[in-house]
């Protein structure tokens, strides 16, 4: 008879303490070296950083989507009054609060826009189709919109971050109330800004092509990667003896369900977009897919189909897989890679109609990823990794899948 | 086997509880006493009862998986054979067998057959429909679907001994133990 | 203290330290069983029921008269004309299928999301799903023109050795709606069996005992049965969740695969699903509010339940508004003049009246649910539901008719007016729907008793302790996820 008492925060370590400094130093070093090496590689191409720009866009979009996934998951928890997740909510808050750092990392995209986006290229002006949308697709408006997006996202993420920290100190219930009321509004702002930002960032690389669902497609893919990263981060912390006992297989089971469900959702959105354009077969719409299904990119597309949907779907369908730590870690890592390949497939064919892959794609992954990891580590340092005075924390600790 | 297990016409012994919390503890005791042919009857599923009774996982997910794969296979073959082989015709420039256009029906039939497998599989594994059962003759047992909780140990259990089992059941904290007859005459 | 705190039937107080009670009053398993099953077994059928039934049965008669007239005369009795070859029949089909989606959302998706409050309303909502899908299924079937060969829709061998065209979204619809109706029925019935057994065991009339006995298939609450039953329920929920996504997506494909401006847009699938859930919740609310009032179910279907539903209406209504905005933006952004024209024509063309009804009912009305007072005042929310029902019907009307009536060739532009037959058929379908709802209320348990019992506080076998009885077979790993080296 194993009388399991509800685990308490005393059972485990809930701060980064010594580890924080180390992770920060290493990831910051990886980030800086990655970025510097990438610039070197980019300059060595001798194309005025054009290839670098595309490669940067892939990796920036990837990490931005993850942080935006976190920014979605926070208000969702508050509006649904979900309690199971509270024990790891601080990790989500940290990831969302990294958005101002991603704003800094967005600067190269804005600066290099002329090399990435056809509409921003100096020679683009004569196209009548572009003339039609110049009120939207112009370097000035692009810059202003990104300033607005990051302004909104910073405001949203810091509202959650600050109030949650404040509650750590006082346990004041008013913070929960405020955030519950704030969250509905936050989701509205989020939906409008993220959808438009997805179109700005990735869809407008081909300024002729359009798809009403594209913002949802960008968002859904990011959400899948976010759940995968959250799983990996939680597991990583547990490996160092942090958050053990209090984050149980029950919580991991739910991580697994979320990865599974949103993998399916992402595929549903991807299919809707693809099938409708395939079916209607209108040149201005199918061009985008035509480019991505020939000359080497078609094979990448197949890799995306299998790696980002069919395999993780089959792999995560059983309860056993979701509750098995090693399998869950495997699929989380797999999903991160698969979603990255998906973004690569979305962006890179616009750089080169033939398949390309360069070391820069990897060094930029570590450059941006390292910087981002350093940022979230820095935010988490010196603070509790658990929102310890949240009124529903106890429910989260005793959570069990029925 | 002791003679009293062969009491003719006895289906088993029944005891009644008023609350689920006592019931779970009682069920765990029956489990630990080593009985096999016994059951708990409740108006709603009790959380934690699977462990208390020692019930292992069910085969149902595999039945459903098989159903789903059959549905998927059938949908694929049907669409291919009907539109690309037996009665081929070109319409709106679509390939005779173009996967994007065939996915919706593949998906629907996968779900349909999985659902049939889950539905019929569950009732089949549960041995239902079964409109006649010795327990239905017991007046008190009418409340098993309403507001009372029962433990029933069947007479065919190898460990069943009328007096010992009866005393054991009585010790679990329920109401008085009652005999349930095999046939519904009395 | 706010006045709300003194109302024993108000459980919409936001207190993060304590979830709101899902069941009010001094209820236990016994009283819940009695109150719900007596509606069916003991209580005298109210006179109002007979009055309502007479009216709805009469309207159902009108529906079948209209269908008969249609069969005899042909689809010319409808208002269809040359540019507008799809009219009210399709509008009504999409409207009714959409209504159904709330039931599946409540029964399946909220189940997977562990939203316990669903237990009070899921039976009702699922019943409504099935009745709505029945009403929906009528319209495409009677729309085929040559009704005597309607079986051509199915892949059945026939004397011409023809097979259906599986590349047509209309055929996908046959499979999607057929699967949806079947799975919803299985799910509904599975959920109802334990309650049918309750009715069987409480029934005093011989006829009732026999009928509920047959329907209950010998259910006796065995935990060995519950074990598989719960697994099957979970699996059915897991299947119904993507299914409900697929059904209205496939319905949207009927429009979106075409090249018609205003129809061919990639956001249609998720936008249709959101709209369906939106309209469905409004219909659940429309029916639930009188039902809880007249049958004394306010303790089980509480204000908290209604408030949650209103929040979902707000969320899905906002999604619909978001989709309208996105469509408009991309219609401009695409630079396709036909696409921009279709949208400008919607808002300012001959059908602008319909468009603005749609926008005010679907976009503006649900936004009032931001206000807590509106979310928790019964007559006000009921009025909102009616607006949403109207708005969502008009949405389908706007999509169908405005995109068709002015197509690529201005010389063929026209205007569509429904005929009396169109109108009476639609009104008649409401008759059928409400007739089925009334029969359900009278003969089947309106609240899922067994499920509600699981969320009553007294149902918790071991509050405060995890797995009080220990791991018997080691199915679940020990509670501590060992950090190091795992």
State the CATH number of the domain containing residue C90: 1.20.1630.10
Query: Which subunits count as partners of chain B given 3+ CB pairs below 8 Å?
Result: A, C
Q: How confident is the model at residue A193, as a pLDDT? A: 96
Pick the more confident residue, C451 or B2: C451
> Could you tell me the residue range of the domain that residue C68 belongs to?
40-473
> If we measure between CA atoms, which residue out of C340, C313, C277 comes closest to residue C107?
C277
Could you tell me which residues come within 8 angstroms of residue C348 by beta carbon, excluding any fewer than 6 positions away? Answer: none
Task: Tell me the C-alpha distance between C398 and A134, whole Å.
Answer: 31
Which strands sit side by side in the sheet containing B178-181, from one edge to the other?
Answer: B38-41, B149-154, B10-17, B178-181
Per DSSP, the three-state class of C1 is coil
User: Do residues B183 and B134 touch, judged by C-beta distance below 8 A?
Assistant: yes
Work out the end-to-end distance of chain A between its first and last CA atoms, rounded to an integer number of angstroms.
20
Rounded distance, CA A391 to CA B161, Å?
53
Residue B131: CB atoms within 10 Å: 12
Q: Which of A395-399, C4-8, C259-263 has the lowest mean pLDDT?
A: C4-8
Judged by phi (left if over 0) then psi (alpha if -120 to 50, else beta), residue B35 lies in beta
Q: Phi and psi of C166, rounded to 5°?
A: -75, -5
Domain boundary among B125, B151, B168: B125
- Give the contacts of A74 (CB within 8 A, at least 6 positions apart): A89, A92, A93, A96, A157, A160, A183, A186
What's residue B7's pLDDT? 63
Query: Is residue C3 in a domain?
Result: no
pLDDT at position A377 over 80: yes
Amino acid A116: pLDDT = 92
List b or e across B54-87, with b for residues whose CB sees 16 or more CB atoms inside 10 angstroms.
bbeebebbebbeebbebbbeebbebbeebbbeee
Q: Can you read off the two tokens belonging to residue A127?
A: 């196209």
Closest partner CB to C473 (pick from B47, B56, B111): B56
Nearest-CA residue of chain A relative to C270? A269
Whether C5 has a pLDDT exceeding 80, the answer reads: no
User: Running DSSP on this structure, what letter comes out for residue B147?
Assistant: T
- Over residues C147-189, the pLDDT tens digits come to 888 888 899 887 778 899 999 999 999 999 999 999 999 999 9
Answer yes or no: is C15 within a domain.
Answer: no
Comparing A7-11, B149-153, C205-209, C428-432, the range with the smallest average pLDDT is A7-11
Look at residue A393 in the predicted model and tell me its pLDDT.
86
> Judged by CB atoms within 8 Å, which residues 270-299 of C form the interface with A?
270
Compare B89 and A148 and report the one with higher pLDDT: A148
Mean pLDDT of B156-181: 88
Domain boundaries, position B29: 10-56+131-181
Q: How many beta-carbon contacts under 8 Å exist across A and B?
A: 14
How far is the C-alpha of B10 from the C-alpha of B186, rounded, in Å? 12
In a domain, C446, yes or no: yes
Q: Are residues B65 and B116 in the same domain?
A: yes
Average pLDDT over residues C404-424: 92
For the segment A69-110, what is each residue's pLDDT rounded down to a tens digit?
999 999 999 998 888 888 999 999 999 999 999 999 999 999
Q: What angle do CA B22, B28, B29 make, to 5 degrees?
A: 90
Residue B34: count other Cβ atoms within 10 Å of its Cβ: 9
Average pLDDT over residues C235-258: 94
**Nearest residue of chain A to residue B91 (CA atoms):** A279
pLDDT at res. B106: 96
Among B79, B98, B125, the domain boundary falls at B125
Residue B143 lies in a domain: yes
- Report, as an integer, the average pLDDT of B97-112: 94
Buried b (16+ CB within 10 A) or exposed e, A174-204: ebbbebbebbbebbbebbbbbbbbbbbbbbb
Query: Which tokens belong to C374?
Result: 């509106």
Q: What number is the average pLDDT over the span C95-112?
A: 89
Q: Is the pLDDT of residue B184 over 70?
A: no
pLDDT-derived band at A11 (thresholds 50, 70, 90) equals: confident
Tell me C183's DSSP state.
H
| Bond before C132 cis per omega within 30 degrees | no
Identify whether the C-beta of residue B174 lies closer than 8 Å to the C-beta of residue B151. yes
Contacts of C131 (CB under 8 A, 6+ apart): C432, C433, C436, C437, C440
- Asked if the structure places residue C219 within a domain, the reply is yes
Would you put residue C264 in left (φ > 0), alpha (ψ -120 to 50) or beta? Answer: beta
Residue B173 pLDDT grade (very low, low, confident, very high; cuts 50, 70, 90): confident
Residue A246: inside a domain = yes
B46-63 pLDDT, tens digit each: 988 888 898 888 899 999
Contacts of B61 in chain A (CB under 8 A): 318
> Quick count: other Cβ atoms within 10 Å of Cβ A92?
23
Predicted confidence (pLDDT) at residue A348 exceeds the cutoff of 50: yes
Q: Do A279 and B100 touch (CB under 8 A)?
A: yes
Q: Which chains touch C (3 or more CB pairs under 8 A)?
A: A, B
Nearest residue on chain B to A270, alpha-carbon basis: B100
pLDDT in tens, C383-398: 999 999 999 999 999 9
Which residue has better confidence, B183 or C449?
C449
% of chain A beyond a pLDDT of 70: 98
C76-82 contacts at long range (C-beta below 8 A, 24 or more positions apart): C77/C419, C77/C421, C78/C418, C78/C419, C78/C421, C78/C422, C79/C416, C79/C417, C79/C418, C79/C419, C79/C422, C80/C416, C81/C414, C81/C416, C82/C412, C82/C414
* Contact call for C29 and B47, based on CB within 8 A: no
Q: What 3-state class would DSSP assign to C159?
A: coil
- Quick one: pLDDT band at residue A5, thresholds 50, 70, 90? low
Query: Alpha carbon of C335 to those of A123, B29, B119, C332, C426: distances in Å?
Result: 20, 74, 51, 6, 38
* B99 assigned to some structural domain: yes
The residue-averaged pLDDT of C309-336 equals 93
Which of C390, C337, C367, C400 has the alpha carbon at shortest distance from C90?
Answer: C400
> Confidence band (pLDDT; 50, 70, 90) for C123?
very high
Same domain, yes or no, for B20 and B47? yes
For residue B142 the two structure tokens come to 């009418």
- What pLDDT is attached to residue A215? 95
Q: What is the mean pLDDT of residues C90-115?
A: 90
Q: How confident is the model over C262-284, as a mean pLDDT?
A: 94
Q: Which two tokens stand for residue C206?
A: 């011989």
For A128-166, letters b (16+ CB in 10 Å) and e give: eebebbeebbeeeebeebbeebbebbbebbebbbebbbe
- The three-class DSSP label of residue C407 is coil
pLDDT tops 70 at residue A3: no
CA of A64, closest CA in chain C: separation in Å? 22
In a domain, B119, yes or no: yes
Higher per-residue pLDDT: A294 or C66? C66
- What local confidence, expressed as pLDDT, does residue A122 receive? 75
For residue C129, being part of any structural domain is answered with yes
SS3 sequence of C280-318? HHHHHHHHHHHHHHHCCCCCCCCHHHHHHHHHHHHHHHH
Is A284 part of the contact surface with chain C (CB cutoff 8 Å)?
Answer: yes
> Residue C118 has which token pair?
């669903």
State the SS3 of A212-238.
CCHHHHHHHHHHHHHHHHHHHHHHHHH
Nearest CB to B129 within list C165, C218, C460:
C218
Q: In chain C, how many domains are there?
A: 1
Number of helices and strands (H, E) in chain C?
18, 0
For an interface test with A, which of B52, B100, B114 has the most A Cβ atoms less than 10 Å from its Cβ? B100
Nearest to C243 by CA among C97, C440, C67, C399: C97
Structure tokens at C201: 């065991």
Q: Are A156 and A37 in contact (CB under 8 A)?
A: no
Cβ atoms of residues C94 and C476 within 8 Å? no
pLDDT at C484: 35
pLDDT tens digits, C38-59: 888 888 888 889 999 999 999 9
Residue C337 CB coordination number (10 Å): 11
Residue B40 bridge partners (DSSP): B151
Number of domains forming the structure of chain B: 2
What is the average pLDDT across A176-198?
A: 94
Task: Determine how many CB atoms are found less than 10 A away from the CB of residue A238.
Answer: 22
Name the residue facing B122 among C171, C200, C228 (closest C-beta): C228
Of the pLDDT bands very low, low, confident and very high (cuts 50, 70, 90), residue A142 is very high
Q: Which residues have CB under 8 Å from C59's CB, separation 6+? A: C427, C428, C430, C431, C432, C434, C435
What average pLDDT does the segment B180-184 reach?
A: 77
Residue range of the domain that includes A210: 16-397
Neighbours of C31 (CB within 10 A): 14
Average pLDDT over all residues of chain A: 92
C474 interface with A at CB cutoff 8 Å: no
Tokens of B152: 């029933």
Query: In A, which residues are within 8 Å of C464 by CB distance?
Result: 6
Q: Would you state the structure tokens that stand for residue A83, as one six-digit string? A: 């309690």
| Count: domains in chain A | 1
Q: What is the pLDDT of residue C318?
A: 94
Within-domain flag for B1: no
Given a cut of 70, whether residue C478 has pLDDT beyond it is no
Position C479 scores a pLDDT of 37
Compute the distance between CA of residue B152 and CA of residue A93 in angstroms, rounded to an integer.
52
- Residues A304 and A342: their CA atoms lie apart, in Å, by 6
């Amino acid at each position: 008879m194993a009388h399991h008492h509800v685990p308490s925060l005393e059972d485990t370590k809930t701060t980064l303490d010594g580890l924080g400094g180390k992770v920060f130093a290493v990831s910051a070093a990886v980030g800086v070296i990655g970025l510097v090496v990438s610039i070197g590689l980019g300059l060595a191409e001798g194309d005025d950083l054009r290839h670098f720009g595309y490669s940067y866009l892939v990796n920036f979009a990837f990490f931005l989507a993850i942080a935006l996934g976190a920014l979605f998951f926070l208000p969702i928890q508050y509006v649904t009054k979900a309690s199971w997740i509270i024990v790891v909510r601080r990790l989500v808050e940290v990831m969302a609060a990294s958005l101002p750092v991603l704003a800094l990392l967005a600067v190269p995209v804005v600066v290099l826009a002329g090399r990435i986006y056809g509409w921003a290229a100096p020679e683009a002006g004569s196209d009548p189709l572009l003339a039609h949308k110049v009120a939207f697709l112009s370097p000035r408006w692009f810059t202003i919109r990104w300033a607005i997006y990051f302004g909104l996202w910073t405001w949203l993420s810091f509202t959650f971050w600050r109030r949650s920290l404040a509650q750590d100190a006082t346990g004041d219930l008013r913070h929960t109330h405020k955030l519950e009321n704030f969250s509905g509004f936050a989701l509205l702002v989020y939906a409008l800004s993220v959808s438009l930002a997805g179109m700005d960032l990735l869809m407008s690389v081909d300024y002729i092509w359009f798809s009403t669902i594209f913002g949802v497609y960008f968002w859904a893919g990011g959400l899948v990667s976010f759940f995968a990263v959250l799983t990996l981060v939680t597991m990583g912390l547990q490996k160092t003896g942090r958050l053990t006992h209090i984050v149980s297989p029950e919580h991991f089971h739910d991580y697994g369900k979320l990865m599974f469900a949103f993998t399916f959702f992402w595929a549903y959105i991807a299919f809707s977009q693809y099938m409708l354009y395939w079916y209607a077969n209108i040149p201005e719409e199918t061009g985008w897919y035509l480019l991505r299904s020939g000359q080497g990119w078609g094979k990448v597309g197949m890799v995306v189909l299998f790696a980002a949907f069919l395999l993780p779907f089959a792999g995560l369908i059983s309860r056993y897989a979701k509750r098995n730590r090693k399998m869950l870690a495997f699929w989380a890592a797999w999903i991160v890679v698969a979603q990255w390949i998906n973004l690569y497939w979305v962006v890179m064919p616009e750089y080169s109609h033939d398949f390309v892959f360069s070391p820069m794609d990897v060094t930029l992954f570590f450059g941006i990823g390292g910087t981002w990891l350093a940022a979230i580590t820095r935010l988490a340092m010196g603070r509790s990794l658990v929102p310890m005075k949240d009124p529903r924390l106890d429910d989260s600790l005793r959570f069990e899948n029925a | 086997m002791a003679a009293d297990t062969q009491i003719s016409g006895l289906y088993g012994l029944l005891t009644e509880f008023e609350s689920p919390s006592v019931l779970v503890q009682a069920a765990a005791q029956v489990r630990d006493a080593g009985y096999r042919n016994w059951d708990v009857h409740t108006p709603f599923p009790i959380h934690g009862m699977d462990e208390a009774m020692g019930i292992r996982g069910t085969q149902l997910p595999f039945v459903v998986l098989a159903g789903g794969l059959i549905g998927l296979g059938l949908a694929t073959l049907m669409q291919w054979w009907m539109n690309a082989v037996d009665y081929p015709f070109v319409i709106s420039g679509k390939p005779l067998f173009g996967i994007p256009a065939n996915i919706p029906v593949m998906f629907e039939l996968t779900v349909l057959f999985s659902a049939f497998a889950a539905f019929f599989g569950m009732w089949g594994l549960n041995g239902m429909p079964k409109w006649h059962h010795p327990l239905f003759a017991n007046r008190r047992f009418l409340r098993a679907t309403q507001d009372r909780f029962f433990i029933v140990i069947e007479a065919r259990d190898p460990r069943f001994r009328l007096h010992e089992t009866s005393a054991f059941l009585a010790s679990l904290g329920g109401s008085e133990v009652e005999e349930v007859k095999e046939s519904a005459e009395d | 203290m706010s006045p709300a705190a003194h109302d024993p039937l108000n459980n919409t107080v936001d207190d993060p330290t304590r979830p709101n009670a899902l069941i009010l009053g001094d209820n236990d398993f016994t009283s819940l069983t009695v109150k719900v099953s007596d509606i069916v077994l003991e209580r005298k059928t109210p006179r109002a029921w007979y009055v309502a039934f007479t009216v709805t049965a009469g309207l159902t008669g009108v529906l079948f008269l209209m269908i008969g007239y249609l069969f005899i005369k042909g689809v010319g009795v409808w208002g269809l004309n040359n540019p507008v070859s799809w009219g009210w029949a399709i509008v009504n089909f999409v409207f009714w299928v959409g209504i159904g989606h709330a039931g599946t959302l409540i029964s399946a998706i909220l189940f997977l999301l562990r939203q316990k409050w669903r237990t009070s309303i899921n039976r009702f909502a699922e019943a409504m799903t099935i009745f709505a899908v029945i009403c929906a299924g009528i319209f495409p079937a009677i729309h085929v023109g040559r009704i005597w060969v309607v079986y051509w829709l199915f892949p059945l061998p026939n004397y011409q050795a023809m097979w259906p065209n599986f590349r047509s979204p209309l055929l996908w619809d046959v499979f999607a709606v057929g699967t949806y109706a079947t799975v919803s029925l299985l799910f509904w019935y599975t959920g109802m069996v334990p309650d049918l057994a309750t009715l069987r065991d409480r029934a005093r009339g011989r006829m009732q005992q026999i009928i509920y006995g047959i329907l209950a298939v010998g259910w006796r609450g065995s935990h060995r049965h519950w074990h598989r039953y719960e697994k099957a329920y979970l699996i059915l929920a897991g299947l119904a969740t993507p299914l409900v996504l697929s059904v209205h997506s496939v319905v949207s494909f009927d429009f979106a695969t075409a090249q018609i401006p205003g129809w061919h847009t990639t956001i249609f699938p998720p936008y249709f699903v959101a709209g369906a859930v939106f309209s469905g919740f409004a219909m659940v609310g429309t029916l639930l509010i009188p039902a809880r009032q007249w049958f004394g179910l306010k303790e089980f279907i509480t204000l908290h339940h209604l408030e949650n539903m209103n929040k979902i209406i707000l969320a899905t209504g906002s999604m619909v508004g978001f989709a309208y905005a996105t469509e408009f933006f991309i219609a401009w952004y695409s630079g396709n003049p036909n696409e921009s024209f279709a949208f400008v024509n919607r808002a300012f063309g001959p059908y602008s009246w319909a468009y603005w009804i749609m926008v005010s009912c679907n976009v503006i009305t649900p936004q009032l649910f931001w206000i807590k007072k509106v979310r928790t005042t019964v007559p006000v929310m009921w009025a909102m539901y009616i607006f949403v029902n109207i708005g969502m019907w008009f949405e389908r009307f706007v999509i169908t008719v405005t995109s068709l009536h002015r197509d690529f060739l201005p010389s063929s532009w026209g205007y569509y007016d429904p005929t009396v037959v169109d109108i009476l058929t639609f009104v008649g379908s409401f008759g059928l729907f409400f007739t089925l709802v009334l029969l359900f209320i009278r003969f089947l348990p309106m609240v899922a008793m067994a499920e509600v019992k699981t969320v009553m506080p007294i149902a918790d076998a071991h509050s405060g302790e995890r797995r009080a009885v220990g791991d018997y077979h080691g199915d679940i790993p020990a509670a501590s996820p060992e950090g190091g080296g795992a």
